[in-house]
Structure formats: structure tokens, C-alpha cells
Amino acid sequence: MSKPAKGDMKTDGAQLKTTKATKATKAKPGAKANDAIATVRQRFLVSADALAALVDKLAAAGTPAVAPAWTADGTTDATDATVAATARETEYRSVSGAAELALGERLPRLSLKQYFLPPTEVLFSYRRNGGGEVELTPAPTDFAAQVVLGARPCDTAALPIVDKVMNWDYADELWNARRAATTIFSLACGVEDDSCFCSAVFLDPATAQGADGLLTPVDDGYLVETLSDKGDAFAAAHPESFAALAAGTDKAATEQAERFRAAAGERVAGHLTLDHERLRNWLENHFDDPFWATLGLRCNGCGVCASVCPTCHCFDIVDEPESVGRGVRRRNWDTCQTCVFTLHASGHNPRADQNARYRQRIEHKFHVYPFKFGDVLCTGCGRCSRACPTSQDLAEILAAINAKAAGESAAPDKAGKASKAAKGADAAPTTGADS
Amino acid sequence: MSDLQDTARRLLDEGTVQVVIGWEASRLGARPVFVTSADDCDKLIFDTRCVHNLATFLNPRRVQVAALGKAAVVVKGCDAKAVAGLLREAQFERDAVVTIGVRCGGVVSEPSGLEPPELTSANVAARCPGCDVREPASVDFLVGEAQPEPPVTTSLNERIGELDALSPAERFAFWTGELSRCTQCYACRQACPLCYCERCIVEKSQPQWIETSPHPRGNFAWHLTRAQHLAGRCVGCGECERACPVGIPLGLINRKLQQVVHELYGYTVTDDPAVPAPIGAYATDDTQDFIK
Amino acid sequence: MTDLSTFEPRVTAFVCNWCTYTGADLAGTSRLHMASNVRIVRLPCTGRIDHLFIVKAFERGADGVIVSGCHPADCHYTAGNYHARRRFGVFRELLTFMGIDPQRLTFSWVSASEGRKWQDVVNETVDRVRRLGPFDSYHGLAGAATAADDPFAAIEATAASSDAPEHRGAS
Ligand code: SF4
Ligand code: SF4
Ligand code: SF4
Ligand code: SF4
Ligand code: SF4
């Protein structure tokens, strides 16, 4: 077993805890400035049967809902109960019936972002016309309305965060049009695992951030709370599914839902605690810290962490000729973890090794993005840790940095010199996180 | 695994190597570890969670690992085959690396859990049943107790048989459906110990032979190329499929090509680097039934 | 979909410079009658023919592909055709496993003196591919129509379907 990092990292148990837990503070300048969480508009009680009927109805009408469903792959059929639990996976997809639903099961393997930033999409097509001029036809942005049912709160919460970069120096029409066309009902989460840490990044398992409605499991169904005009409109369009709460049951169902959410919140809160301001300062001042020098050793540079991440949004742009003089321009998912991401035409690569690339991942999410946009670029969904083929553990790494930052702020005069004082070669290159 | 730890400690103490590449237990299961000090050797483990193919870290493109100095690498059978593959293709000299073989009774498909899980036919990795190198022969040290046979599970061969029985159009529909999920992230390539090219052809743009957009047309070109470039080289370690974030059944393609090179050219993947690879070699009397 | 009654297969032939190309030349100068559906791409050697040439041909609208070069022991570079034979032996099986009908492919040895054999290879391949029909399933993989259809409509169709057929996740 790896030795615990100085002070406060526990690696021998199921949970990561920081001993000197510092309370994360909301709305510190530059730490987190999220739009106020929308207030509840209406409450409904939707039985499990009514939800199933709604899903079937939407599919029959040719407007299937997007929802978590069991995967059925070439080798592993997750609907087969004899398949090991670790091999049974779920994914978001357009469901053709309620039988496919996998609500409240393992986190879908890809996040919801593919419905707003598809792995590949056409930006425009081009052709050279008879006169030798190039004509461009932009991709249409009139997307059909779609509804997502049972989204993970940590996926939904990512959307308003990414909205900021998508509307920063340029308003991304495709992203915005898909956002506008989509109504999202999240499902409060009660199945966290050791990789989750939403409560360490200002969220919780029942966050309504980004959602038009929130479902919370209660006896025989779900308490549904609408949070936006889109949420209200969807409920109004399906009155047979959204039963108004009968007088008297209102309080009981709401209290039960509160208890479910509070219990889940408490469980996750035990996983990790971060002091974001201190973390950000440490990251800002320790670009060359020896801590980074071993972090990329086991990393494959494969970018699975970015593919599965709800907040990673980098894309590459390619022109694809269909023939002489015509073709399409597309954008495709990309990731800072690959060696070619920053490769210059000259052959120079400013991020020459995987340490530098892994540092970029942490810096972007916990320093640069919060600094620029006020939001941490991470919802603590834990997908990156779960999906990483070499078991890089983001929560463990963050806990280690948090501990370093805490140690230095306890001895402020050393802070600035830390990177010069420590010698990279002396740091035992073992797990990376605990060196 | 005290003899594993002892061997590693001795190698580091004597200065034979500067780093031992092995596995350690972690919060979320097991993971690769790079031990540079004899004092840290008690971290090293080998159990059913040690799925990662550590030969990947011997890829010349892993500059950071190379910078640690001469390495000893802990290898189970499939890792040993990959080391042999790298030697066969002259990626380094035999004495540039020390291999510590471990006797293996199979591993799980996902390395999770605080304790090593019992192997069952439900959780065993697809490559393990029927494995022929559970005690790697061409290693410098062999450690650990003899292990039982891995449990039997629905084999890749049976699934391939089912696919072979379909019509071409049905198979095409199957693969179009599967490949439509691929995002061309190339995690399969990054995980593969034999994918060591300095610059992969999919990243060459002048000319751009493979469309990098993950539509099925680009994905077919990518997968046909990945498979063809690994024909007769793939050791069947399954790391590519495990790395894939969207569950593309790459193991089916890899196993199929292992069958093909065996049927056509009598080649079976081996941990003996002296056996030449089937592609890149030829015989004047090779089969040519398919040539008019 | 292509109209089957007027369907003319498009076949791309990758041939070596020394044997098959000269053989095809002989077929031409001998005024042998053969199907005109084959476009020849001349390469130094079958050993130079990468599997991606075949893939690219299918991507760009070919319905069938011919790969042809010198007979065994006749290679201008001694062993290029032996290497090609191994690689294509494997690649043909790979294509078959991925659902690409091997009947769309012809591999042949045609020497410089075998003009008649080239004529046979061409006619047989074109007939076979004509019976199989157009390879629309491959040509349509990116959501685009082939150049045989209205090219501009094809582009617009690709753009319009930008969020759907090409990637299941975004349906
Ligand atoms: S951290 Fe893991 S998932 Fe991310 S690039 Fe590295 S190996 Fe791949
Ligand atoms: S960085 Fe990891 S934990 Fe954070 S949002 Fe992305 S995948 Fe989830
Ligand atoms: S972490 Fe990397 S891939 Fe993700 S958004 Fe930032 S730069 Fe892009
Ligand atoms: S192709 Fe896959 S199974 Fe074969 S050696 Fe590479 S990672 Fe292992
Ligand atoms: S098969 Fe999987 S790992 Fe490989 S490129 Fe496609 S999505 Fe990535």
C-alpha cells in the first residue's frame, strides 16, 4: 500500500477524507459564481408505472426520450443478469420503450454532453461552384425538441458550466440551439461510489443546476419538481403522467424526498473536501512543482478521462473532402491528454510529456476555468477515475494537492519557495499522487 | 507475494535496475506502480486485479518511464508475450530490461475492489480461459505459487463462430452498429503494448488516409487499419477493449485475426521472441487459393 | 439508392507497373473487348499496395476492387508480391469478418503477356459486382450520398443529418 501523503490522505480505506477538513465556501469571488439554483415551481407525484407509460408513449409518438438504458454490446449484454455487475453498463440513448430504462443504476458510461456536443458534427459544407467561387452552407440549427428523463444531476449540472465557454468570445450556435431544444429532468442520485465527489465541487447528489425538473425517488414512484418554463411546459403537455399531489400527501412526499436527498448528500460529503481558493492559489503558484513530475507516469495519454467527462469540451476541426471541390467541415471531440494536442507544425511540443498534459487537466479544471469563468470545470461525477484504464484517481490526486496547499498556507513564508526548494529527483516516483 | 517483493528489492538494492514496474493496490482496485526505492517494494502485489499489461510501459514512446533508468517489469503470461513482441520487432535489446514473471491463474475483467475477487466465469477476463502461458518461460525470474486454471466462460471463439455464420450484410450491420459508438479517441491504441509508432497513421494528415471524424465511414477505416496493423502481432491481452470507453468488442476482431494467421500461416502468438512474426515474413508456397 | 436496371459498377484496379499494367496494355493494343467499368491505378509493385487503398476506393464510390501483380517468382523487386500475398490473405479475411463481401474483391496474378487473362479478370469482376449491386451500404456510412448522385444534394443531406445517423449517441 502506498504511504499516506503528509497529513491527510487515507488510501487504505474505501473513503478519502481530509483530516483538517476545511469548509468549502460558496460564492467566494472567483471560486464559484453559479447562477442561483432555480426555485421549485410545481410539484407532482409520478408513479413508476406512469413514468414507464410516459416513456412508451413518447417512443410510440416518434419522439423518444433520452434516458439511461442498459447497454447491449457485441460481447457484453448488460440485460443478461448472469453478467458480472462490474461489466454491466448503462448509457444515455433514445429509448424505444420503458423496458430499456436503467434509472438509478450505475452512471452511464458517457455523460450527457454528447447530446449537445456530439463526438462529430458538421459545421458547414463547401463546394466550389462553376465560377470558381467557394460556396458555404452552414449546418442547420433548427433541432427538434427533445426531452431527457432521469439524467444524472452531475451531468446536468455540467451544462451551465460549459455554457460559459460556449458563449464567451463567440456564441456557439450549435451548442446553444441544442441546449434550447432540450428539456432535462434529472433524477436525484442515491448510488454514489468511491469515485464520486460532487459535494467537494459545490454540488450535491440532488443538485438542480441546469435541470428543468428534478425527480426524487419516493414510495411507489417519484416526486417531480419543475424548475423552469420548459419543465412546466413538458408537465402540462403530459397531464396524464404528472399527477398533482393530493392535498395531505404533499408534505409526506416532500419530506421523504428531502430525507433521501439529505442522506445521499451526507454519504458523498464524506468522500472528499476541498478548499477551492487555497487549491486554486496553489495551482497558480506551483506550475513547476515536483508533484507533477511523476503524475503522468502511469497515464496512457488516451484521453478517456476527457471523452467520458461531462465538462470537457475541447474539439478539433477537420475538413473532409467528399470529392474534388466539395466536402464538409466538422468538429470532433479532442483532448489535452494526447501528445498531438499541442504539437506545433515546427515539431516543438510545449507539453512535451504526460506530466505536463496531466497537469493541464488539473490546472484547466481547478485553476484556469474557475479563474476565468467562476466555475470549477468538474462536477465530481468520478467518471474519469472509473473509466481510466490505468486507474488514475482524481479524488486522490485532488486530496493530495489540497493537503499540500493546506500545509503551505500553515507556513506561509515557505509557500513561494516550495517549488525551488524541493528537488524533483528526490520525490519517490511511486503513485504520483503521494510523492 | 514476498518472493516478488524480495526479487524487486534485490534488483534495486544491487543497482541492477533503477525502477521496478509492477502493480500496487489502490483505493479503487489495483494499478501500475513505478518503484524506484527498495524500501517501497512492499507495495508490489500480484493478484486477480492485476489486469494491466505492463509491457505497455516499455514502449519507447514512454519517455518518462525510460528516463527513470533501466527497468525490471513484472509480467504475467500475456505481458510476457508483449515483451517478446517488442523484442521481436527490435524495440530494445534483451538485456535492456529485466523480466520478473508471475504465475497467473487469470485476472478479472475490471480491476476494482479492495480485496482481490475470486475468479468466476462471470468476472474472468475474456482472454484468460484456455491461456497457454500462465507460467511465462522466457523470463529472468519466475515467482509465485502455481495457480489453478481460470474458470471457463463463453468464449470469444463461440461468438466469432456465430458472427461467421451470418451473411456479409448481417455482419456489416452488426459492425456498423458497434462502430457507430466509437469516438476515435484511440484509447485502444494508447493502451496497446504493440502500438508503439512514433506517429500513428491516423494522425498523419498529408495525405489523410483515415478520416478522423467518428462517423462509421471514418471508424471502419480506423478499425480495419488498427486490426490489420496488429495482425500477427496482437498478443490478445485485451487491454484495448478494456480501455475503450464505449465498449467496442475489439477482442472479437483481434481473436479472429489470431485465428486467421494461424489457419493461413500456422502462426501462434508466443512469448518466444525468436519465432518470427507472420507478417513481414513469407514462404514461397504460401496459400493463394484466393488469388486468380 | 442506385437504379439497378441502369447500374454500372465502378471498379478500381490497383496493379503493378511491371506485369499487370503491361498485361492490361497488351489487352488494349490487342483490341480485346472488355467491360469499361475499371479504372486502373498503376503502382510500382503489389508490395506497395496498402490495404487503405482498397478502403479509400470503397469510401469514394467504388463497388468493387481488383488488386493484381506479377506471378510468384516474377516480382521485379524479388519478393514484393510474396509480402502482398500474406498481407492480402489476412486483409481479405478481415474484410469478410467485418461484413464486406469478399466477392467485391478480386486478387489476381497477370503477367505482361497475359492480355487475355486480364480481359477475363475484368469481365468476371464486373459481372460479379454487377450481380451484387452497388455498394451503397459502404458509400453511405458517413450519411453522404455518392458522387453518382447529385453531388450538391449529397452535401446538403450530410449537413442536414449532422446530428443523427452518423453517431448513434447523438440521435
Ligand atoms: S488519466 Fe487515464 S483516462 Fe486520462 S489520459 Fe491518462 S490513462 Fe487515459
Ligand atoms: S473531471 Fe472527472 S470527476 Fe470531474 S466532471 Fe470530469 S469526469 Fe467527472
Ligand atoms: S481538461 Fe483538457 S480536454 Fe478537458 S476541457 Fe480542459 S483542456 Fe479540454
Ligand atoms: S491489440 Fe489489444 S489485445 Fe492485442 S496486444 Fe494490443 S492491446 Fe493487447
Ligand atoms: S474503439 Fe474505443 S478506444 Fe478505440 S478509438 Fe474507438 S472509442 Fe476509442
In one-letter notation, the amino acid at residue C170 is A
pLDDT at A435: 28
Among the residue ranges A400-414, B114-128, B160-174, B176-190, the one predicted with the least confidence is A400-414
On whether residue C145 sits in a domain, the answer given is: yes
B187 alpha carbon, closest ligand: 5
pLDDT at C154: 42
pLDDT band of residue A273 (cuts 50, 70, 90) is very high
Task: Check pLDDT > 60 for residue C74.
Answer: yes
Number of C-beta neighbours around residue A126 at 10 A = 17
User: Above pLDDT 90, what percent of chain A?
Assistant: 71
pLDDT at A23: 36
Which chain A residues in 331-390 lie under 8 Å from chain B, judged by CB atoms? 332-333, 335, 338-340, 353-355, 385-387, 389-390
Give the residue-averaged pLDDT of A338-352: 93
Distance A158 CA to ligand 3 centre (A): 13
pLDDT at C6: 86
On whether residue C134 sits in a domain, the answer given is: yes
C25 Cβ contact list (under 8 Å, min separation 6): none
Q: Nearest C-alpha of chain A: how many angstroms from B22?
A: 10
Q: Is A94 in the C-facing interface, judged by CB distances under 8 Å? A: yes
Give the residue-averaged pLDDT of B154-167: 89
On whether residue C58 sits in a domain, the answer given is: yes
On whether residue B209 sits in a domain, the answer given is: yes
Evaluate: CB of A186 within 6 angstroms of ligand 1. Answer: no
Q: Is B215 in the A-facing interface, judged by CB distances under 8 Å? A: yes
Render pLDDT for A185-228 as a digit per residue (tens, 0 to 9): 999 999 999 999 999 999 999 999 999 999 999 987 999 999 99
* DSSP 8-state code for residue A287: T
Number of C-beta neighbours around residue B58 at 10 A = 25
Contacts of B243 in chain A (CB under 8 A): 300, 302, 304, 389
pLDDT at B205: 87
Evaluate: CB of A384 within 6 angstroms of ligand 2. Answer: yes
Chain-chain contact of A323 with C147 (C-beta, under 8 angstroms): yes
The full length of chain C comes to 171
pLDDT at B153: 80
Q: What is the reported pTM? A: 0.89
Determine the structural domain holding residue B182 and report its residue range: 156-265
Among the residue ranges A135-139, A245-249, B67-71, C18-22, the one predicted with the least confidence is A245-249
Give SS3 for A16: coil
**Atom 7 in ligand 2: residue holding the nearest Cα:** A309
Evaluate: CB of A307 within 6 angstroms of ligand 1. Answer: no
Q: How high does pLDDT run on average in chain C?
A: 85
Helical spans, DSSP H, in B137-238: 156-164, 168-179, 187-191, 216-230
A169 Cβ contact list (under 8 Å, min separation 6): none
Instruction: Lay out the sheet containing C64-69: strands in order across.
Output: C38-43, C11-16, C64-69, C105-109
Contacts of A327 in chain C (CB under 8 A): 155
Kind and range of the H or E run holding C145? none
Better-scored residue on pLDDT, A74 or B81: B81
The answer to whether B139 and B251 are in contact (CB under 8 A) is: no
pLDDT at B72: 98
Tell me the C-alpha distance between A10 and A7, whole Å: 9
Give me the half-sphere count of Cα atoms (radius 13 Å) on the Cβ side of residue A195.
Answer: 22
Helical spans, DSSP H, in chain C: 20-29, 51-59, 80-97, 115-132, 136-139, 151-160
Q: Is B251 in the A-facing interface, judged by CB distances under 8 Å? A: yes
Evaluate: CB of B96 within 6 angstroms of ligand 5. Answer: no
In a mutational test of the C interface, the residue from A135, A323, A333 whose CB has the highest number of chain C CBs within 10 Å is A323
Which of A63-77, B32-46, B273-287: highest mean pLDDT?
B32-46
Which chain B residues in 36-95 lie under 8 Å from chain A, judged by CB atoms? 36-37, 40, 43, 52, 56-57, 61, 63-65, 68
Q: To which residue does cell 460564492 refer? A: A27
Tell me the C-alpha distance between A62 and A56, whole Å: 10
Give one DSSP letter per residue of A26-43, joined into a string: TT-TTT--PPPPPPP-EE
Give the residue-averaged pLDDT of B209-214: 95
Would you kindly state where each structural domain of chain A is located, as residue ranges? 11-271, 277-434
Domain count, chain B: 2
Q: Is B141 in the C-facing interface, judged by CB distances under 8 Å? A: no
Same domain, B86 and B179: no
Same domain, B137 and B163: no
Same domain, B11 and B138: yes
pLDDT at A390: 95
Which chain B residues in 206-235 lie under 8 Å from chain C, judged by CB atoms? 209-211, 213-218, 220-221, 223-225, 227-228, 231-232
Give one DSSP letter per residue of A73-142, joined into a string: -SS-BTT-TTS-GGG--EEEEE-SSGGGB-TTSSPPSS-GGGGTS-SEEEEEEEEE-TTSPEEEEEPP--
A33 Cβ contact list (under 8 Å, min separation 6): A27, A374, A375
Domain count, chain C: 1
Atom number of ligand 2 nearest to Cα A361: 1
What is the helix, strand, coil percentage profile of chain A, to 5? 35, 20, 45
Task: Check pLDDT > 90 for residue C137.
Answer: yes
Strand boundaries in chain B, DSSP class E:
19-26, 29-35, 44-45, 71-75, 97-102, 141-143
pLDDT at B172: 96
B67 Cβ contact list (under 8 Å, min separation 6): none
pLDDT band of residue A81 (cuts 50, 70, 90) is low
Q: How far lies A388's CA from each of A12, A165, A301, in Å?
A: 20, 26, 10
The full length of chain A comes to 435
Among the residue ranges A233-242, B12-21, B123-132, the one predicted with the least confidence is B123-132
Better-scored residue on pLDDT, C1 or A250: A250
Chain-chain contact of B290 with C107 (C-beta, under 8 angstroms): yes
Q: How far lies C102's CA from each of A74, B169, B197, B287, C99, in Å?
A: 22, 11, 30, 17, 9
pLDDT at C160: 39
Contacts of B291 in chain C (CB under 8 A): 85, 107-109
Give the residue-averaged pLDDT of C62-86: 94
Which chain B residues in 102-121 lie under 8 Å from chain A, judged by CB atoms? 108-112, 114, 120
Q: Are strands A315-323 and B71-75 parallel, antiparallel or unpaired?
A: unpaired
Number of C-beta neighbours around residue B268 at 10 A = 10
Render pLDDT for A83-114 as a digit per residue (tens, 0 to 9): 555 567 899 999 999 999 999 898 999 999 99
Number of C-beta neighbours around residue C66 at 10 A = 30
On whether residue C83 sits in a domain, the answer given is: yes
Give the residue-averaged pLDDT of A273-287: 95
In one-letter notation, the amino acid at residue A392 is Q
Render pLDDT for A148-191 as a digit per residue (tens, 0 to 9): 999 999 999 999 999 999 999 999 999 999 999 999 999 999 99
On whether residue C114 sits in a domain, the answer given is: yes
Task: Check pLDDT > 70 for residue A62.
Answer: yes
Contacts of A121 in chain C (CB under 8 A): 162-163, 170
On whether residue C131 sits in a domain, the answer given is: yes
pLDDT at A251: 84
B258 alpha carbon, closest ligand: 4
pLDDT at C110: 96
Tell me the C-alpha distance between A241 and A226, whole Å: 14
Q: Pull the grid cell for residue B150.
A: 481460470
pLDDT at A11: 35
Render pLDDT for B93-144 as a digit per residue (tens, 0 to 9): 999 999 999 999 999 988 888 889 999 988 899 889 889 999 999 899 999 9
Q: How high does pLDDT run on average in chain A?
A: 84
Contacts of C among chains (3+ CB pairs under 8 A): A, B
Count how many pairs of residues, chain A against chain C, have C-beta atoms within 8 Å.
66
pLDDT at B55: 97
Tell me the C-alpha distance between C25 and C15, whole Å: 12
Same domain, B37 and B133: yes
* DSSP 8-state code for residue C114: -
Render pLDDT for B213-229 as a digit per residue (tens, 0 to 9): 999 999 999 999 999 99
pLDDT band of residue A77 (cuts 50, 70, 90) is low
On whether residue B18 sits in a domain, the answer given is: yes
Contacts of A298 in chain B (CB under 8 A): 31-34, 57
Phi-psi region of B48 (alpha: psi -120 to 50; beta: other; left: phi over 0): alpha
Same domain, B133 and B226: no
pLDDT band of residue C158 (cuts 50, 70, 90) is very low
Render pLDDT for A355-369 as a digit per residue (tens, 0 to 9): 999 999 999 999 999
The answer to whether C68 and C16 are in contact (CB under 8 A) is: yes
Render pLDDT for C7-58 as a digit per residue (tens, 0 to 9): 999 999 999 999 999 999 999 999 999 999 999 999 999 999 999 999 999 9
pLDDT at A5: 36
Task: Check pLDDT > 70 for residue B158.
Answer: yes
pLDDT at A416: 43
Chain-chain contact of C171 with A93 (C-beta, under 8 angstroms): yes
Render pLDDT for B35-49 as a digit per residue (tens, 0 to 9): 999 999 999 999 999
Q: Pull the grid cell for residue A192.
A: 454514489
A125 Cβ contact list (under 8 Å, min separation 6): A136, A137, A139, A326, A327, A328, A329, C155, C156, C158, C159
pLDDT band of residue A75 (cuts 50, 70, 90) is low
User: Above pLDDT 70, what percent of chain B?
Assistant: 100
Evaluate: CB of A388 within 6 angstroms of ligand 1. Answer: yes
Contacts of B among chains (3+ CB pairs under 8 A): A, C
Task: Check pLDDT > 50 for residue C153.
Answer: no
Taking CA A406 as the corner, what is the angle to CA A277 and CA A368, rounded to the nearest 5 degrees?
Answer: 35
Same domain, B83 and B29: yes
In a mutational test of the B interface, the residue from C59, C141, C163 whose CB has the highest number of chain B CBs within 10 Å is C141
pLDDT at A85: 57
Give SS3 for A318: strand
Contacts of A among chains (3+ CB pairs under 8 A): B, C
Chain-chain contact of C99 with B168 (C-beta, under 8 angstroms): yes
A301 alpha carbon, closest ligand: 1
Q: At what angle do helices B168-179 and B216-230 cross, to 10 degrees?
A: 100
Give me the half-sphere count of Cα atoms (radius 13 Å) on the Cβ side of residue A344.
Answer: 7
Q: Nearest C-alpha of chain B: how many angstroms from C31?
A: 23
pLDDT at A303: 96
In a mutational test of the B interface, the residue from A196, A297, A307, A313 whose CB has the highest number of chain B CBs within 10 Å is A297
Better-scored residue on pLDDT, C142 or C24: C24
Phi/psi of residue A206, nearest 5 degrees: -125, 25
On whether residue B282 sits in a domain, the answer given is: no
The answer to whether C33 and C126 are in contact (CB under 8 A) is: no
**Atom 6 in ligand 5: residue holding the nearest Cα:** B182
Better-scored residue on pLDDT, A408 or A384: A384
Distance of CA B273 to the CA centre of its chain: 15
A7 Cβ contact list (under 8 Å, min separation 6): A19, A20, A403, A406, A407
Q: Pull the grid cell for residue B12.
A: 534495486
In one-letter notation, the amino acid at residue A232 is D
pLDDT at A252: 86
Give the residue-averaged pLDDT of B152-179: 91
The answer to whether B250 and B240 are in contact (CB under 8 A) is: yes
The answer to whether B257 and B158 are in contact (CB under 8 A) is: no
Give SS3 for B115: coil
Task: Check pLDDT > 90 for residue A336.
Answer: yes
The answer to whether B102 and B147 are in contact (CB under 8 A) is: no
CATH of the domain at C133: 3.40.50
pLDDT at A87: 61
Q: Pull the grid cell for residue A317.
A: 476541426
B269 alpha carbon, closest ligand: 4
Atom number of ligand 3 nearest to Cα A361: 1
Q: To which residue does cell 477493449 refer? A: B241
Give the residue-averaged pLDDT of A23-37: 40
pLDDT at A83: 55
B54 Cβ contact list (under 8 Å, min separation 6): B21, B22, B23, B32, B73, B74, B75, B79
Which chain B residues in 247-276 lie under 8 Å from chain C, judged by CB atoms? 253, 256-257, 260-261, 264-265
Q: At what angle do helices B216-230 and B250-265 cross, to 10 degrees?
A: 40
Helical spans, DSSP H, in A203-248: 229-237
Contacts of C166 in chain B (CB under 8 A): 180, 213, 215-216
Phi/psi of residue B112, nearest 5 degrees: -105, 170
